[in-house]
Amino acid sequence: MTSAGIPAVKAAARPTGGGRRLRLSWLGVVPFFAYVGVFLLLPTVIIAAGSFAAKDGSLTISNFTSINQPYLVKSFVNGAVVSVVSALAGGFAGALLAYAVVTGSPRGLLRRAVTSASGVLAQFGGVTLAFAFLATLGTTGVVTIFLKDHGIDIFPNGVWLYELSGLTLLYAYFQIPLMVLVFLPALDGIRPQWREATESLGGTTWHYWRYVAGPLLAPSFLGCTLLLFANAFSAYATAQALISQGNLIVPLAISNLLTSETGRAQPGLAKALALSMILIVTIVTVLYAVLQQRSARWLR
């Protein structure tokens, strides 16, 4: 067939209906959007609608005005403190561990071991994590009893473990490996040639981190730290297993408002608290995405 006949064949192969042929590539994202719609958007709509409903079914905004009660405000403050401290501790420790891993061989045993362990430990939470710490540092924990037998009582009866300090320690346990996982790609984007260029221009290690690597990694580090904050702020299972009573943080307050044994449950107020948490986590997530997009311009 001559080359002159090829355009005629292509023209004959085009649809003659005048419309464009429907592309089927979008079908691959249908399960994702279905999952988001059923497990994220639909519960959010239900919570938003319930937060404006009174017990008799009428519309009201009293659920939001009731959030200013002292014990609920304190739960927000406590949750923010635990989230900030655990995010900063996990962020710095995880970043240092990730940098130590990056300095080694990209396919070495150390990197594979650390990333595999981080993937497991980042999901190690809830009842399992709380029980592990209670069995270790609780009132009758192994370490607590061992230290008491040797005349050392640095953990007074393990009471601190059931307070904000103990909850922060538990959160930091899974925040560090999560930081390793999310910060490694940013460190991989730092090119060795940039350090060589700094040294060839007479710069020191301080100059390299101050003017080159530091500014490039700062948006990614801040974004990952915000992700850790959102992860801790919305955590529930670990706190519930460690602290069975009280309204220490917002998720526990929501649980207590939904499950009252004396008939004083306030589902509308619980949903208003949940909606407030959703808004806070959404804002933090958007800031994380913006910072990650900014750092991706250079770290590719």
Are residues 163 and 75 in contact, defined by beta-carbon separation less than 8 angstroms? no
Kindly report the CATH number assigned to the domain that includes residue 85. 1.10.3720.10
Tens-place pLDDT, residues 137-158: 888 888 888 888 888 876 665 5
How many domains does one find in the chain?
1
Closest CA to 172 of 272, 89, 237, 115: 89
Tens-place pLDDT, residues 27-60: 878 888 999 999 989 999 999 999 998 887 788 8
Closest CA to 121 of 149, 160, 99, 90: 90
What is the average pLDDT value for the chain, to the nearest integer? Answer: 85
Closest CA to 168 of 252, 119, 235, 227: 235
User: CA-to-CA distance for 271 and 276, rounded, in angstroms?
Assistant: 8
Judge whether 47 lies within some domain: no
Judge whether 287 lies within some domain: yes
Judge whether 56 lies within some domain: no
Residue 59 pairs in a beta bridge with 53
Mean pLDDT of 262-267: 74
Work out the pLDDT band at 103, boundaries 50, 70, 90.
Answer: confident
Are residues 186 and 214 in contact, defined by beta-carbon separation less than 8 angstroms? no
Q: Given this model, what pLDDT does residue 9 score?
A: 46
User: CA-to-CA distance for 58 and 40, rounded, in angstroms?
Assistant: 25
Mean pLDDT of 109-127: 88
**Is the per-residue pLDDT at 78 higher than 90?**
yes
Domain that holds residue 291: 69-296
Are residues 90 and 125 in contact, defined by beta-carbon separation less than 8 angstroms? no
Q: Is the dihedral of CA 252, 258, 259, 264 positive or negative?
A: positive
Tens-place pLDDT, residues 155-170: 665 578 888 888 999 9
Judge whether 10 lies within some domain: no
Judge whether 51 lies within some domain: no
Question: What is the full DSSP assignment across the chain?
Answer: --GGGHHHHHHHHS-SSSSPPPP-GGGGGHHHHHHHIIIIIHHHHHHHHHHTB-TTS-B-SHHHHGGGSHHHHHHHHHHHHHHHHHHHHHHHHHHHHHHHHHTS-TTSHHHHHHHHHHHHHTT--HHHHHHHHHHHHSTT-HHHHHHHHTT--SSGGGGGGGSHHHHHHHHHHHHHHHHHHHHHHHHHTS-HHHHHHHHHTT--HHHHIIIIIHHHHHHHHHHHHHHHHHHHHT--HHHHHH--SS-SSHHHHHHHHH--TTS---HHHHHHHHHHHHHHHHHHHHHHHHHHHHHHTT--
Judge whether 106 lies within some domain: yes
**Is the per-residue pLDDT at 174 higher than 50?**
yes
Sequence-distant (6+) residues with CB within 8 A of 229 are 83, 84, 87, 284
